[in-house]
Amino acid sequence: MSAQDGGDMLRWFLGGPQTRPDRISLLCLPHAGGAASSYRAWLCDLTPHVDVLPIQLPGRENRMSVPFAESLDALIADLTAVIARAELTDLALFGHSMGAVLATRLCTALEQSGRPVRHLFVSGHFGTGPWPADARLSVSPTATDEELLGSLAVLDPAAAPRYGHAELAAMILPILRADLRLLHGISLAGVTVDAPVTALAGTDDPVVVDLAGWAGVSRTDHALYRLPGNHFYLASQGPELSRIVCHRLGLPVGVP
């Protein structure tokens, strides 16, 4: 691997990739408008058996100067190549909201390339089910700033006051629009994977009314969980979320 390739690879993983053979590498894909750092808080309670490796997509946080991905196919191809270069031996995937779509497509690409995935965790997304008929939610990349910020407030009411700050809005909106363009016209209908699937959502999530759309995605095994909270239930349910992840990975639960 050249120095240039190594530097590029490091930028994809927040904190750098780990290659410890005694740990599972849990690659985490962000929600639309989000970044890798969220997972540091959401999954901080995982046992020492798991390395939480948040993926940093182009155009955000420490990769602000990198152009956004031009298409979902291009992004998945880049991620597949980066993961191969990182030589991660025991791999699981976790994606929230948009990240659930990315993780599912990435799982498919990895399996097709001959690289098995131990488990696919998908959160805050309805899978192959229908989009809810909620007029408050706008996911079009051509929506107005006010419509997009209003949708964010519906998904995360506690954070709604922050979206009124012009500087924060100016930082979030370009990333959100780029992510919505990436997802435009994308469906998970007909997508299947070999990895077991665990789908999770908040009980008060206005987007994920039903998780049944994930039931047929895995060709081997699936489980569905609802935890207290809204679309961003992960912020308050870290310990229980980590317990479920460990349980589904077959790891000891609550190891100090």
Average pLDDT rounded to a whole number, residues 134-146: 79
What band does 4 get if pLDDT is binned at 50, 70 and 90?
A: very low
Mean of the per-residue pLDDT values of the chain = 88
Burial of 59 (0-12, 13-18, 19+ CB in 10 A): middle
Summarize pLDDT for 5-49 with one digit per residue, the tens: 445 677 899 877 776 778 899 999 999 998 888 898 888 888 788
- What does the domain layout of the chain look like in residue ranges? 3-133+187-249
Residue pointed to by tokens 């696919």: 120
Average pLDDT rounded to a whole number, residues 119-135: 84
Decide if pLDDT at 134 tops 70.
no
What band does 98 get if pLDDT is binned at 50, 70 and 90?
A: very high
What integer pLDDT is reported at residue 118 of this predicted model?
Answer: 97
Higher-confidence residue of 84 and 159: namely: 84
- CA torsion, ordered 93, 5, 113, 16, to nearest 10 deg: -20
CA 104 – CA 188 distance, rounded (Å): 8
Decide if pLDDT at 164 tops 90.
no
Residue 17, SS3 per DSSP: coil
Fold of domain 3-133+187-249 = Rossmann fold (3.40.50)
Residue type, 16: G
